[in-house]
Amino acid sequence: MDGKATDKKIIFSGIQPSGALTLGSYLGAIKNWVTLSETYDCRYCIVDMHALTSRQNPAELRRRAIDQLAQYIACGLDPEKSIIFIQSHVPAHAELAWVLNCYTMFGELSRMTQFKDKSAKNTDNINAGLFTYPVLMAADILLYQTDLVPVGEDQKQHVEICRDIAGRFNGIYGDVFRLPEPFIPKVGARIMSLTSPESKMSKSDEDPGGCIYVMQKPDEIMRAFKRAVTDSGGAVRFDPVQKPGVSNLMQIYSAAAGLSFEQIESEFEGRGYGDFKLRLGEAVVELLRPIREEAERLAADRAHLESVYRQGAEKASRAAEKTLRKVYRKIGFIEKKDVPSCPSIRN
């Protein structure tokens, strides 16, 4: 995988290093990324620039970015099969975002659900970056002439505005950007909070008990599942409407143990939630154990991780610069002469 053109469709996706990687991110996204990398040309990013919409501790942000890279690889992503890189190491993301800001309408951004939700939760920090977040996301996607963007149902709006921006630009300057499609894998669970089953499991959850983290210790995982919200009655039955709590736990157990909902219902017929939660906790502990151990080993090998992110940035930059040069030519910028396309990456 060297960033050169292939016959495979191109996929782009990324996760912020704004907190520890969650079980929801692994089961709902990264596990699918590993599968997709076998048949698609994939670019997977640690989107540290997006993390700045909320205040970050600089040292913590750097540490989490490196840890997340180690966890990506430990989860099964192979740098030889996919381009894995850190967003801020490819300046073209910020450069294209500014251009696209000038082709995005204020009204479009003001209607974005995520801006409304995050503004309501962070009234003391409603910054311009939070408002223009979808434009940077569009730049992330369009730089690589992406065909497919793996998203959950709740993220389709971001792909839609990306298509709108690209379509507007193409309408003025010709065929510059490929129009990406949202890609919702058939296999993959949407994991909800353990304490609020109506909300997606998220590292920004106000209740830390709602999340399981990839690097969490076994006893902490077991304790979190014991406290997880279930529903009235004691039957382990999949019914997202009437039994959202236990249905969410069944989603997790299904993904962790490779069992269907029917098999799970049969296994725990006549048994209470206590038995189910105990077995679920054990299954998740064993699912995450090899990932945690491998991530810890990789995190100790800083030289190897540095090599991975440097090579990833170089590969990503080659593809990104090709698109950016075309954009700059179309809008009337003077072509850069003898300027390095991929500045050296320093710690």
- pLDDT tens digits, residue range 179-234? 999 998 765 567 899 998 888 888 766 677 889 999 999 999 999 999 999 988 88
- Compute the average pLDDT of residues 230-253: 91
**Banded model confidence at residue 343, pLDDT cuts 50, 70, 90:** low
Q: Is the pLDDT of residue 84 over 70?
A: yes
Is the distance from CB of 136 to CB of 49 less than 8 angstroms? yes
Query: Three-state DSSP class for 43?
Result: strand
- Compute the average pLDDT of residues 53-82: 95
Q: Is the pLDDT of residue 342 over 60?
A: no
Domain residue ranges in the chain: 10-184+302-331, 208-298
How would CATH label the architecture of 10-184+302-331? 3-Layer(aba) Sandwich (3.40)
Q: How many residues in total does the chain contain? A: 347
Active-site position among 4, 9, 200, 322: 200
Contacts of 310 (CB under 8 A, 6+ apart): 345
Q: Which residue has the higher pLDDT, 293 or 130?
A: 293
Q: Residue 15: what pLDDT? A: 93
Q: Residue 2: what pLDDT? A: 57
Active-site position among 118, 243, 277, 315: 118
Judged by average pLDDT, the poorest of 89-93, 233-237, 295-299 is 233-237
Which residue(s) pair with 35 in the sheet? Answer: none
Same fold, 10-184+302-331 and 208-298: no
- Compute the average pLDDT of residues 235-260: 92
For this structure, is 118 an active site residue? yes
Q: Residue 207: what pLDDT? A: 73
The proportion of the chain whose per-residue pLDDT surpasses 70, expressed as a percent, equals 93
**Banded model confidence at residue 346, pLDDT cuts 50, 70, 90:** very low
How confident is the model over 109-125, as pLDDT tens digits?
988 887 777 776 777 77
**Banded model confidence at residue 1, pLDDT cuts 50, 70, 90:** low
Closest CA to 305 of 73, 75, 62: 73
Q: Which residue has the higher pLDDT, 185 or 128?
A: 128
Which residue(s) pair with 84 in the sheet? Answer: 44
Give me the phi and psi of 288, to 5 degrees please.
-90, -20
DSSP string, 196-240: -TTSB--TT-SSGGG--BTT--HHHHHHHHHT----SSS----BT
CA distance 261 to 179: 37
**Banded model confidence at residue 261, pLDDT cuts 50, 70, 90:** very high
**Banded model confidence at residue 347, pLDDT cuts 50, 70, 90:** very low
Which pTM was predicted? 0.88
Fold type of domain 208-298: Tyrosyl-Transfer RNA Synthetase (1.10.240)
Active-site position among 4, 31, 121, 203: 203
Q: Is the pLDDT of residue 301 over 70?
A: yes
For this structure, is 203 an active site residue? yes
For this structure, is 121 an active site residue? no
Is the distance from CB of 140 to CB of 173 less than 8 angstroms? no
